[in-house]
Amino acid sequence: MNISRREWMADSITLGAALIGVSNLAGAQSKKPEWKCGVGLNGFMSSAGQYKKEYPIWEVLDFSVKEGFDGIELVEGWPMGGYPGPDETGRIAALKRMYDQYGLRIYTFQTGGSGCYSADANARKDWLNDFRNKIRLAQQLGCVFIGNWPGGGLEGNKDVHEAIQRLAESYREAAKMLADAGMHMSFEIEPPFLFNTLEHLQEILTTVNHPACRTNYDPSHFDVMSGSKGKPEDMLKTLGVQYIGHVHLTDTDGTLFGGTSKHLPCGDGHCDMQASLKTLWEGGYTGWIMIDGWLIEDVYRAAHQGIQAIKKAQETLSQS
């Protein structure tokens, strides 16, 4: 499926109006960006595995509160075990209670898998059934949305465009379920994935064509996918901020590391984090911003520098 620049701009304008809505328009007129800041447990998980560091969960949560974070993005398998099943009410209540005691919201969690675009119809059906259960879990945890990473190969498809068609079918059904539950999904593509270009991202979004299906903005991925020029905000502007459902804030040097874009603490790479945050604000983004410490050795330092960058942007933008 080839999309012309004119067609993409027309689709962006149409869907943008639906996505932004009255609340975002109000936010764009306010004095202060309506952002909430999250900590991603994926950073601590990857740092512990790569650098053999120890991060007791109570220490992570205490740090998050002291730094001024609002919530946590869960990752499956860390600090221990998988996500509870949707009918495991005792385990769900215990998990939520731990974060509630620190005043931190479980605002989302990560999901993945290539079953969502497999050529095997049964695999796609299984993915949707599992996603339906993830929505039930998310509702009980009080999540705002669910993250998804469609990593994998062709999975039996003849080419990437056929894979996108099947991905879009699954995402459209998932988006309908999420909308009924008062949530949305935010998927993320990365340079090593099958889907790894601006054109792929545009094709997925326009083929799904549902306001509850949005995508992540991760400056490190956008930078690598746009030539490693240190200006990921340019790709963000081309895509359109109205398509963003979540932000993973991280700097980068434009290289690959550990199978994906290299993540660096804000200010340590070649990107201008203030330019990214300014673009998000001017585009009306009012959602969550997570500090992504993936494969960063000192995740606490990355989280601190990240939230400081956000505070600086809030102060600057509220005065402009």
What's the pLDDT score for residue 19? 47
Whole-number Å distance between alpha carbons of 142 and 151: 26
Q: Does residue 1 belong to any structural domain of this protein? A: no
Q: Does residue 26 belong to any structural domain of this protein? A: no
Strand-strand pairing, 256-257 and 260-261: antiparallel
Question: Whole domain around residue 204: which residue ranges?
Answer: 34-319
Summarised one tens digit per residue, pLDDT across range 38-60 is: 999 999 999 999 999 999 999 99
Q: Does residue 23 belong to any structural domain of this protein? A: no
Where residue 114 sits, what CATH number does that domain have? 3.20.20.150
Q: Does residue 29 belong to any structural domain of this protein? A: no
Q: Find the mean pLDDT for residues 228-232.
A: 98
Share the mean pLDDT of the chain.
92
Q: Does residue 10 belong to any structural domain of this protein? A: no
Summarised one tens digit per residue, pLDDT across range 250-270 is: 999 999 999 999 999 999 999
Whole-number Å distance between alpha carbons of 56 and 45: 11
What's the pLDDT score for residue 192? 96
Summarised one tens digit per residue, pLDDT across range 66-110 is: 999 999 999 999 999 999 999 999 999 999 999 999 999 999 999
CB 217 within 8 A of CB 248: yes
Q: Does residue 122 belong to any structural domain of this protein? A: yes
79: cis peptide before it, omega within 30°?
A: yes
What's the pLDDT score for residue 6? 47
Q: How many domains does the chain have?
A: 1
pTM of the model: 0.90
Q: Does residue 194 belong to any structural domain of this protein? A: yes
Q: Does residue 15 belong to any structural domain of this protein? A: no
pLDDT at 20 over 70: no
* Cα angle: 126, vertex 131, 132; to 5 degrees: 100
